[in-house]
Amino acid sequence: MTHYFHKSIPLSVLTLLFLWSSFVHARTDCTQVTQIPKTECEALLDLQQRTNGQAWKNKWGWGETNEPCHWHSRKNSAFAVAGVTCEEGHVTMLHLNNNRLNGPIPQSISHFKKLRYLFLAKNRLHGTIPDSLSNLSQLTKLWLNDNELSGTIPDYLGNLDQLKELLLNNNQFEDTISEVINKLKQLDFLNLAQNQFSGRFPKSMANLSKLIVDDKHLSDFICFVVTQIPQAECKALFEFYRQTNGPLWTNNAGWNKVNTPCDWQGITCNDGHVTGLELSNNQVSGPIPKLMGYSLSQLTSLKLDNNQLSGQIPSSLGHLTQLTILELNNNQLSGEIPVPIGYLSQLQRLVLSNNQLSGSIPASFKKLKSFINLSGNQNLSVSICPFVTQIPQAECEALRHLYHSTNGDHWGNNNGWNWTNTPCDWNGVSCNDGHVTQLSLEGKQLSGQIPKSIGKLSQLENLYLGGNQLSCDEIPSSLTRLWSGTKVRCD
C-alpha cells in the first residue's frame, strides 16, 4: 500500500513548517533597512563575516533582521549598550568587547562616519590597524586592547582629533612610539602596556591625565615624560621595581603604571625629589640595585623591612647623605656591612637585624649617633661597645662579659643585649646619669659564672640574679667593694 507523506500531515502543520523554514533562511537585506544608511548596514555585515561571526558569543539578530540598531543588545542584560547603538539614523557605538571576534578589522569600518565609541577589546583580532579607521573623525573612545594586533601605531590615527581614550595594551605592536600622539590634543587616557615598543616616549605624553605603560619594554622610557622628579630618580625607582619583582609585591599601586611617581605606593616627595621609599611588609624580593644610592640622593627615609630582599647591602647607600632612617631588618641580606653607611651623619635609626650579615661592624660606625640594631645576624662577629655612647665603654664590656659568661644566647629574655648600641634599653638594665645603676635578671635562665668584670659597674645599686642556675657562693671578689652600697639578691 502506497501513501504520500504530505497527505498524512495536517494543513496547519505544513503551514507552520513553511513559515519556520522561511524565518530560518531569512537574511538581512540592507536595501530594505531604514534605520541606518545602506553603507553602514553593509559594513556591519562585513565586520561579522570577516571576524567569524558564526562563532561570536553574542550575535542576536546579526544578519538576520532588518533592524541593525537592535542587533544583539537585547540579549546582553549586563551591558545594555552592547552590540550596535544608533542615534539620529547612524551607528554611533559598536560595543563588541569579549565577544570572540577572530580576524582583521575590515577596511569597511570607515563607513561609520558618526561613530563615537568603538569597543573591540578582549577578542582575537589580528593584523594591523586599517588606515580607513582614520576616517572616523568623531571617534572619542577606541578600545583595541587584549587582542593580537601587530605593526606600529599608524600616523593616520592623528586624524582622530576628538579621541579622548586610546587603549592598545596587550597586543603585539612594536617599533617606536609615533609622534602622532602629539596631534591628539583631546587625548587624556593612553594605555600602551604589554606590547613590544622601543625608543623614547614623545614629550607630549607628559600632559596626559592617565598614562599606563606597565611593560618591560617601556619601563625606562616613561621617565622621559615624568615631570614631578628628575629622570635619574625616576629611572632608579624603575630599576628597583624591576630587580625586586615589583609585579609580585603585595601593593604596587601606581608603580610602572602612571607618570606621577610621587603618587606610587610607598613614595614620598618633597621639593621635586623622592624623599621617602617605604615598602615594609610588601613581598619585596631580590637584590637592592647596586647604584640606587647614587640617584636617590635626597632620600631621608628608606624602610624595606620584613620582606625577602637578598644579596648584599649596596655601598652606594652610603651616598644618601640626607638619610635619617634606614630599616632593612627581617630580610635575607648577606655579606659585610658597607663601610660608607657609617658616614651617614644625619642617620637617627639604623636597623639591620635578622638578616645573614657577616664580618665585623665597620669602624666608621663610631661616628654614628643613631640607634643601631644588628641582632639576629649569627655570622656577624660583633662587639657593639665601641659604638655605645649611653654609658662608659668599660661598663658596656662588663655587661657583654656577663652575657657571654652566663649563656646569654639562651636567656629567657635577652632583647637588645650585645646587639644594639643602647644598653640602657637592654632587657633588665637600668641607667642613671650615664651609668648602669640596676641589673634585674631574676628568672631569666642565666647559667654559668658571674664574671669578675661585673665589678666595673661602679655605680651599680641593685643586682638581682635570683631564680637562675648560678652559684651565689662564687660571687667575684670584685663585687665585695660594692657590697656596702649595693643591694645584691642571688638566691
Q: What is the pLDDT of residue 259?
A: 80
Is the per-residue pLDDT at 301 higher than 50?
yes
Report CA-CA distances (Å) from 58 to 72, 73, 373.
6, 9, 63
Comparing 180 with 268, the larger pLDDT belongs to: 268
User: How far apart (Å, rounded) are the C-alpha atoms in residues 131 and 404?
Assistant: 80
pLDDT in tens, 465-491: 888 888 766 666 656 555 456 677 776
User: How far apart (Å, rounded) are the C-alpha atoms in residues 413 and 45?
Assistant: 79
Q: What is the pTM of this model?
A: 0.60
User: How far apart (Å, rounded) are the C-alpha atoms in residues 116 and 180?
Assistant: 20
User: How far apart (Å, rounded) are the C-alpha atoms in residues 489 and 469?
Assistant: 14
Residue percentage of the chain with pLDDT more than 90: 60
User: How far apart (Å, rounded) are the C-alpha atoms in residues 436 and 442?
Assistant: 17
**Residue 371 contacts residue 425 (beta carbons within 8 Å):** no
The structural domains of the chain, ordered by start, are: 261-382 (3.80.10.10), 389-491 (3.80.10.10)
Is the per-residue pLDDT at 204 higher than 70?
no
Report CA-CA distances (Å) from 255 to 251, 259, 269, 283, 326.
9, 9, 15, 15, 22
CA dihedral over 317, 318, 324, 326, signed as positive or negative: positive
Average pLDDT, the chain: 86
Is the per-residue pLDDT at 23 higher than 50?
no
Is the per-residue pLDDT at 26 higher than 60?
no
pLDDT band per the 50, 70, 90 thresholds, residue 298: very high
Give the mean pLDDT of 275-300. 96
User: How far apart (Å, rounded) are the C-alpha atoms in residues 457 and 398?
Assistant: 7
Give the mean pLDDT of 68-81. 66
